[in-house]
Structure 1
Amino acid sequence: MTTRRKFLTLLGGGVVLAAGGTTLWATTRDPVRAREPWLAAGDAALRDPRHRALSYAVLAPNPHNRQPWIADLSTEGEIALLCDLDRRLPETDPFDRQITIGLGCFLELLTLAAAQDDHRAEVTLFPDGEPQPRLDARPVARVRLVPDASIARDPLFAHVLERRSNKEPYDTARPVPNESLAEIAGAVRDGSPVWTDDPSRVEALRTLAWAAMETELRTYETMKESVDLLRIGRAEIEANPDGIDIPGPFVEALAGVGLFRLEDMLDPATPAFAQQLEILKPPFETAMAFMWLATPGNTRADQIATGRDYLRMNLAATRLGIAMHPFSQALQEFPAMRPHAQAMREALGIAPGETLQMFARLGYGPAVKAGPRWPYETRIAAA
């Protein structure tokens, strides 16, 4: 979480809150209601196994926390997974590749949860055809839940409620053991993860990743896409528990008196923009290892498989107490990012024709709270 001092610096300082009652007020600003889906997952009162599985699946990682999934339950025993087309990211993800990877994370978590409930998830991808160049109203998948008391329960499921995308700076005094990286990579089912913990190579990749991030920030359209998704303070986060949450009493107070101005974050000429760079850079500077996934092609099925693998990697890292955080900027397909994408491909040894699908940093980070989520019921299509 960004510190009070950093936020005051970001906004020019000079803010003095009235002393009386501020401590009591601050204690009420945690958006606890936005995290309730993490506590409600798997509620035994849910009689339909589809509902129980969905209550876990909505906790899956996904780009910008857009939670782009819709479940159509109109066919008994089946879930038709659709993409909420209004939750795509057309500027940073113009071909919906990252959104599709997020839907793959959802499908893997749904499958793990169903197995815990003695159901086998039979997944048929894109039953009405694979949409290109962008997703459309056709189903991403049809999932049939079949009772099966013999199905194996995956031990990774035990870590679902602990899983995080830890965006904080990591401990640079604690290298990630190579055997731990191998164990994380070994959790995947389809892909072939590659990793590095070599200090000189990690340093070079930190630099490349930050250069890509800075380009995203300095490109007005891509930066505005993120700024438009900011949820500042408890009320905004609980009202819209998706997008990029910025919790905390100090930023909420500053926004309330007009000193947290979103337009300043979009203008590279402002002190606020410069301070934003300072705040965002430490996670890049403290990556202790990197792991990535590439696929031979770039079909929608490839993207789904990548998401399923990434979810398993994230759970395996959680089991080992290792933090994990995707750095997606250099993989994005908007024009200004092309030089960075090519530099990253060369640095990672991605072969011609292959697609770099995921690139994540690893390390040991502080404990962080679960991210906001819409209740699973809100992601079920209306009859």
Structure 2
Amino acid sequence: MTGFALGVDQEEWCGQLRALAAERLRPLAEKGEPGRVNRPLLAALGELGLLERVFASGALELCLLRESLAYGCTEAETALALQGLGAYPVLRAGSEEQRERWLPGVRAGRAVAAFALSEPGAGSDAAALALAATADPAVAPAAGGGWRLSGEKCWISNAPEADFYTVFARTGEGPGAKGVSAFLVPADRPGLSGAPLDMLSPHPIGSLTFDGVPVGPRDLLGEPGRGFRVAMDTLNLFRPSVGAFAVGMARAALDATLAYTADRTAFGGTLSDLQAVAHRVAEMATRTEAARLLVYAAAGAYDRGAGDVPRRAAMAKLLATETAQYVVDHAVQLHGAVALRRGHLLEHLYREVRAPRIYEGASEVQRTIIAKELYAGVVTR
């Protein structure tokens, strides 16, 4: 895939999504409480069939969906993405019983999913997980025994209000990533508790405490010791679409800046007449378009099953999230004080845009992945 252009049908669909986000979903988002799961918003995403599209589409369509929703309503985009992130491991690695039990509710916006990977001492270094899964024959004795989960998870989106969690814990089959297993843990399991965290980002984030939480073989997602692969399979799909989320925010900030600077009078003309302003806007537009192309190139590679998906996904997330930060920051600067008022689009985007440079692998981690993939192909003497 050397270039990217939307077809007529795709352009129309994206336009419909942007309008839907602004007219139907944003009012529901505004009624929600920051830091809490907005269940009416999730229900609307389900009724509109958008949650179903997360699971039925490839990476390219997922990116179009996330970018378009982010342009019109970041809360709706994030609510949709978190459902996908939490439940995608169930779709790909879960048993038929697990899929039938949980996925219909996720698609309908009734069941809230969460992806529980990060820990207080293992954020970007996912292979350093410490949550222990200790074998216990008394758990599920008819199935040959199970495990008890002990430890903590932190910075988990949708926690502590999710209905179930995709949890990654150390079962010890091998060192590092080789000893991690994935479990589907319903929120009502004994020993599982959580607390909300007061974060800059407006979507719900919390911590989880596991005090001997029982899990059995029927709770496994995939095979014991193969959980890290489940996590990476999920992140390789969602990292380019995090980039699409960032591109959607950047485009919203850019369009707001174009409208404002073309209309705002200053120094005997409009702000857009000033070369310093016009050149800044040109730079914002160029970086946004470059990031967008890289995101969709990565999505196309994922859908083709290309072998360089980890590198492309990391590049897409890195460039798009860093670009969005740049564009939103300069949009605020060109708007001046008005953009800092609570309730202004750019004030909202300024709070939203910071987190994607950290979650699902910080920018520094993406650079490490890119370098590792590049050097893996170098033949040394």
- TM category, shorter: under 0.3
More helix by share: 2
TM-score by length of 1: 0.25
Normalising by structure 2, what TM-score? 0.25
